[in-house]
Amino acid sequence: MKTEQPQPATTADKGLNFIEQIVEKDLADGLNDGRLQTRFPPEPNGYLHIGHAKAICMDFGIAQRFGGVCNLRLDDTNPQKEDTEYVEAIKRDIRWLGFEWGKVCHASDYFDKLYDFAVSLIRQGKAYVDEQTSEQIAQQKGTPTQAGTASPFRDRPVDESLTLFEKMVKGEIEEGAMVLRAKIDMANPNMHFRDPIIYRVINKPHPQTGTKWHAYPMYDFAHGQSDYFEGVTHSICTLEFVPHRPLYDYFIDELKEGKDLSDHRPRQYEFNRLNLTYTLMSKRKLLALVQEGLVEGWDDPRMPTICGLRRRGYSPESIRGFVNMIGYTRIEALNEYGMLEAAAREDLNKRALRVSAVLDPVRLVITNYPEDRVEELEAINNPECEADGSHTVTFSRELWMERADFMEDAPKKYFRMSPGREVRLKNAYIVKCTGCVKDETGRIVQVNAEYDPDSKSGMPGADRKVKGTIHWVDAARCVKAKVRLYEPLFTVPDPSADPRDFRELLNPASVKVLEECYVEPFAVNNSTGNPYLQFQRTGYFIADPSSTTEAPLFNRTVSLKDSWKGGQK
Ligand code: ATP
Ligand code: MG
């Protein structure tokens, strides 16, 4: 298969979304010295999915649009779940989507600074080591309307906390035996202020820092500070972080105290997550599908991952087009999977090479066509793009056509192959069906037709119109291929809201393999470098990475919205 050449991303000129409006104003007001810096902060504990694509288009897109920079920040604060395989996959997927980062940063780059900050909070009496279990701590949290209960360790001497924190960090404490908590306000209506846990013990080597640390900062203690250390100006995330924002600001205020009196600071902005019908977006559940062998891997074409969509035949432009279509708001929504498909059709229609492929073949014999004759006919590569040129297809006496394009006893409005009726063979001749041949079980094994030599497509005077056009391939000069057709992976529109285990919601018919299809040779070895194909009248397809010239295998990206004009009504 040819390697794809992603087109550089450009932000569609379509008015500014609400975060772009904020950025435009901040830049005009000279905030942060008129600098714009964002970051895309995945946790390297899985592959990126279509939801991440929405965040990527925002974080990188806004930097691009306003002349700023976006860094890739690997949010690697939990060595239990993280893997360098994921880091490589994340980088590959971002680039494939058409974006480029300024720098690659890690939350772990700031472990020293975060440690110093934690120690300084302890010294100021603003943090303490709690030796309760996480269950006890959770029980004492209270409710939004009821204050929490103070830990018995809340007022322990500073020196004790310093000594214990040191032990936590050095690996002298067992996991779960103690945590470091910020001492803020156990009665705060915002539950995140009720002495949040800021460090916990994890006795596992870290991919970046090895065995240097045995206690690691929690998200709320790492994220905002990392933004600050890095010089992020606009920290854009999804709506579930709205209640975390005051804590984000609190820690930055503490960090800035006395050191930096200017207004240089990151600010957090939130937009709505992407949720898609018939799809799960939780990395934990996607990982389970992979680990339990319920899908072929992270890049299974049924997966909502970027690599799955790529293997399915989605172009980067179609994913960006989809994100653009749904837009950014502050209201949570469940988007129709059909919109993603519509975005793919819109883009692939402009991009895909048109080829002939017969997925459910039956032999078609043109009985009045000379046995030894082979004609080369012109086939336009893409009617939407003249520059894509054309290729040749061969025509001869024996062809393959779709079984569904023949009917022995057809209703009046059937404009395909039926005894006595005429139909055009795409790019070739008008033929009149003369009957069919059946085997002893009554199954049709051959359709017969006669061609009109004066009706060749493109020939002067050959513009005689017939109502239907069907596709075909030359039986002696085509390639046998396997084709995979896909249906949604889940049977219910909102699997994450379903009380049943997500494994029970898997669609047993999510993939169907057609073992014997016939495609024209150009589908297998076109030299244009364009991997996107339209099988005429059938849908958009791409060769699977495992496909070879000897054993071609195609994945259907998406069907065509409407059956072909002149085809089935
Ligand atoms: P999970 O909870 O499944 O692990 P996550 O949200 O924690 O996913 P991260 O790797 O932490 O995944 O996410 C990196 C960035 O991508 C974050 O800024 C997050 O807000 C954003 N993101 C993740 N999922 C979505 C989604 N469905 N829609 C939009 N943005 C998302
Ligand atoms: Mg996360």
Domain boundaries, the chain: 18-271, 283-353+481-559, 357-471
Q: Phi and psi at residue 288, in whole multiples of 5°?
A: -65, -40
Nearest partner of 78 among 240, 237, 199, judged by Cα: 199
Binding site membership of 90 for ligand 1 (Cβ less than 6 Å): no
Tokens representing 39?
């970051």
457 CA → ligand 1 middle, Å: 53
- Positions marked active-site: 43, 273, 283
Binding site membership of 273 for ligand 1 (Cβ less than 6 Å): yes
On whether the 283-353+481-559 domain is CATH 1.10.1160.10, my answer is yes
Cα 521 to Cα 176: distance, rounded to the nearest angstrom: 62
Give pLDDT, residue 83. 82
Which residue's entry shows tokens 């032999």?
A: 363
Output the residue whose Cα is nearest ligand 1's atom 9. Answer: 42
Contact 343, 322 (CB under 8 A): yes
Cα 138 to Cα 134: distance, rounded to the nearest angstrom: 6
39 CA → ligand 1 middle, Å: 13
Contact 558, 539 (CB under 8 A): yes
Binding site membership of 39 for ligand 1 (Cβ less than 6 Å): no
Binding site membership of 238 for ligand 1 (Cβ less than 6 Å): yes
Predicted confidence pLDDT, tens digits, the chain (569 residues): 334 444 445 444 458 999 999 999 999 999 999 999 999 999 999 999 999 999 999 999 999 999 999 999 999 999 988 788 999 999 999 999 999 999 999 999 999 999 999 999 999 999 999 999 999 999 999 999 999 999 999 999 999 999 999 999 999 999 999 999 999 999 999 999 999 999 999 999 999 999 999 999 999 999 999 999 999 999 999 999 999 999 999 999 999 876 665 678 999 999 999 999 999 999 999 999 999 999 999 999 999 999 999 999 999 999 999 999 999 999 999 999 999 999 999 999 999 999 999 999 999 999 999 999 999 999 999 999 999 999 999 999 999 999 999 999 999 999 999 999 999 999 999 999 999 999 999 999 999 999 999 999 888 777 788 999 999 999 999 999 999 999 999 999 999 999 999 999 999 999 999 999 999 999 999 889 999 999 999 999 999 999 999 999 999 999 997 433 333 33
Ligand 1, residue 44: give the atom nearest the CA. 10
344 CA → ligand 2 middle, Å: 28
Superfamily of domain 18-271: HUPs (3.40.50.620)
Cα 141 to Cα 191: distance, rounded to the nearest angstrom: 7
Cα 367 to Cα 434: distance, rounded to the nearest angstrom: 9
Contact 429, 451 (CB under 8 A): yes
Listed in sequence order, the residues at least 6 apart from 389 whose beta carbon sits closer than 8 Å to its beta carbon are 381
Output the residue whose Cα is nearest ligand 1's atom 15. Answer: 42
Contact 423, 431 (CB under 8 A): yes
Output the residue whose Cα is nearest ligand 1's atom 13. Answer: 42
Tokens representing 565?
């004009």
Give all strands (DSSP E) within 131-233, no chain letters: 179-182, 197-201, 215-217
Give pLDDT, residue 258. 64
Contact 470, 401 (CB under 8 A): yes
52 CA → ligand 1 middle, Å: 6
Give pLDDT, residue 240. 97
Q: Report pTM.
A: 0.93
| Eight-class DSSP state of 180 | E
Mutate to test the pocket of ligand 1, among 47, 52, 242, 305 (most ligand atoms within 8 A of CB): 52
Nearest partner of 38 among 199, 188, 212, 237, judged by Cα: 237
Binding site membership of 283 for ligand 1 (Cβ less than 6 Å): yes
Contact 79, 206 (CB under 8 A): yes
Domain covering 357-471 in this structure, CATH number:
2.40.240.10
